[in-house]
Structure 1
């Protein structure tokens, strides 16, 4: 076959695999040419309620995939109670390990985003420093009815509450509540958190490196949430949320190849450090990288050393949220939260591996996108 004919055949094959998704003429594979960024559907009423003397305290924990929901709960509770919100700290994976909010997130952005919604105390006020706050457990996406019936009576007696959000499932299904009642949840979950400048610059630099490694693909790359510590989890064998199972490195490579991604496509993996079992994926896609390979040398000690391991999850979360295509190797809260961020930015190409014979990429589109089953769809209008 002549080279020109071969190129035309490849283009025709990939075009058919995307069911009408228009491809850039310089790229191969099911990449969308443009992402339409949706607009927020919510409207926040002006701040009229008189503030009480009480405070809502809380911590962020269990990684960035939980933080937006924890923020949203705290904001909703504080708003309905008329309480002030104390800037949270961030708990690490080890007992007693914690960071200031500003070490990870932009404090000015956070406070400004909530202007007119709740008042935020950047430091714990002196008048409550010696007072132990009453602990209250609240469900993810707490409702106004729950706040009125369960939390408000406690707040009436104990003006300082410490919230702890609990999560019942991996999914983030679309809420049945109206857009208006979801307004504070939407604003807090998708409009308040931004990485602090140093960490944001690092993520941007790493994304730039991935795009340069994928120049033949128009600078586009695929991010895959694949970590070997997750593959042995119980949910990999039987997941109560969906029929999805876990896929290893070789299966991910075969999947990406099957749905039409060119071998020159850059692939980013959330795995920390290279592992021999990743070689089978790199055999199919040579431009496969873990974060260790693309972190600038001068940032390695700060963000990848023994003192910086907690930063890695934020790097992964943001790269997966911003990649051109995202592929989860297993069902998880990480996948669900990344999907929410991608819906908010219009990056809706999320392909979930499945035991199908189809070579059409859109046949593997995430249910969060295909069925609009994600909570984020109630927050944004295309």
Structure 2
């Protein structure tokens, strides 16, 4: 064998070894993880039965088995009235948006059942004087009545005999108790014959409860309210579009509750003297964007913001996540004149869309976050991340930012569903 043949042989062996190394690297070595990757297994209705979230340096964010989004079953037994006789009426209005509606409905049902009174289906009041609409404009009346059949008697319209003279108007705290009803509501009901309730919220109380009275609360909060078909269709079309965009980006779609008017009201002040990493009541667009980036969300992540219209202050999010949208860029054109000109419809869309997103990020603490969390827990969508100002040099473990409603199972939904 001459010198040229020896060199040719050596080159052949070298090329073979290099090719073998490339094949091994591509097929056996784990790929470098720098972004959040999501695999979807779709159903025919464009919803998703499985999601596999893998995160950067932390490996698996959630295991695939934890992301099947299996709808939980109600743990409560439907409480049936032992007495059919009605002794008056309970009336009320729904105000301030769906996160309040859920609690207002629950209070009214609990009070009406205790008093053996007939519940009058409420109207819906907006924030401006004279701004009101019928219950059926947003919610399904028949499903509401049927869900409460045997629990309380319900009428669809206010009886003609009901007047201000025989009506006691009472302010009632959220998650009213039997003792409170007996001491503060029943005497007025017996005196006047009818009561009108206005629920107030001394605190956001979503703690678990295992008492017998909880079955009525669970049914009223999670089994009574459903959107009427036209409104549900708009929500479904927006969810479908966002999920379609997220599939193209090979990532999740994230709903962020970020309303600029609420940020101004709360002031976004640090609770822990402004220390980095401390908890806050709310987070600015830039803080939310940096939080998501620090956790490893890819720049192509699709983000829905509950802010009504795009504002220049939201550019901080769009700079890092170009596929960020408000509802005006997603709603079907033939629906905008109706649904974008009404604050009540906008609130409903935000609430239910946040309940259906792949991931939910509450940039604002409060009842919206608490009641969206409840609906997500009930449907198995427990991917809720609470923002924080993560120090630049620290490693960001996503599991440290999962909502305590989920990580500690402290939400009342866990006493309603199993």
Q: 1:239 to 1:196 in 2, by over 3 A?
A: farther
Aligned length in residues: 368
Equivalent residue number for residue 69 of structure 2? 35
Q: Secondary structure at 1:214's aligned position in 2?
A: helix
Question: Shift in Å at residue 157 of structure 1?
Answer: 1.6
Equivalent residue number for residue 282 of structure 1? 318
Question: Shift in Å at residue 52 of structure 1?
Answer: 2.3
Equivalent residue number for residue 29 of structure 1? none
Q: Secondary structure at 1:262's aligned position in 2?
A: coil
Counterparts of 1:129-208 in structure 2, within 5 Å, are 129=163, 131-169=165-203, 171-175=204-208, 177-208=209-240
The runs of 5 or more residues in structure 2 that have no matched partner are 1-21, 36-53, 273-277
Equivalent residue number for residue 244 of structure 2? 212
Q: Secondary structure at 2:361's aligned position in 1?
A: strand
Question: Within 2, Cα distance between the matches of 1:157 and 1:245?
Answer: 43
Question: Within 2, Cα distance between the matches of 1:279 and 1:238?
Answer: 23
Q: Residues 300-350 of structure 1: CA distance to partner in whole angstroms, max 9, x if unpaired?
A: 111113xx2321011001100111110011212211111111111111111
Question: Shift in Å at residue 182 of structure 1?
Answer: 0.4
Bigger mean CA offset, 370-379 vs 77-86: 370-379
Q: Secondary structure at 1:60's aligned position in 2?
A: strand
Q: Residues 85-136 of structure 1: CA distance to partner in whole angstroms, max 9, x if unpaired?
A: 0000011010222111001111011001101100110001122257552111
| Preserved CA contact (<8 Å) 2:257 2:362 | yes
Q: Secondary structure at 2:150's aligned position in 1?
A: coil
1:9 to 10, 32, 36: 32
- Greater Rg by CA: 2
| Preserved CA contact (<8 Å) 1:38 1:345 | yes
Counterparts of 1:29-178 in structure 2, within 5 Å, are 33-129=67-163, 131-169=165-203, 171-175=204-208, 177-178=209-210
Question: Within 1, Cα distance between the matches of 2:59 and 2:140?
Answer: 38
Equivalent residue number for residue 338 of structure 2? 302
Pair 1:372-2:402 in alignment: no
Q: 1:299 to 1:260 in 2, by over 3 A?
A: same
Question: Shift in Å at residue 234 of structure 1?
Answer: 3.4
TM-score by length of 1: 0.90
TM-score by length of 2: 0.82
| Preserved CA contact (<8 Å) 1:15 1:23 | no
Q: 1:98 to 1:228 in 2, by over 3 A?
A: same
Q: 1:20 to 1:210 in 2, by over 3 A?
A: closer
Equivalent residue number for residue 17 of structure 2? none
Equivalent residue number for residue 385 of structure 2? 351
Pair 1:254-2:290 in alignment: yes
| Preserved CA contact (<8 Å) 1:212 1:219 | no
Bigger mean CA offset, 129-138 vs 250-259: 129-138
The runs of 5 or more residues in structure 1 that have no matched partner are 25-31
Q: 1:46 to 1:253 in 2, by over 3 A?
A: same
Q: Secondary structure at 1:161's aligned position in 2?
A: strand
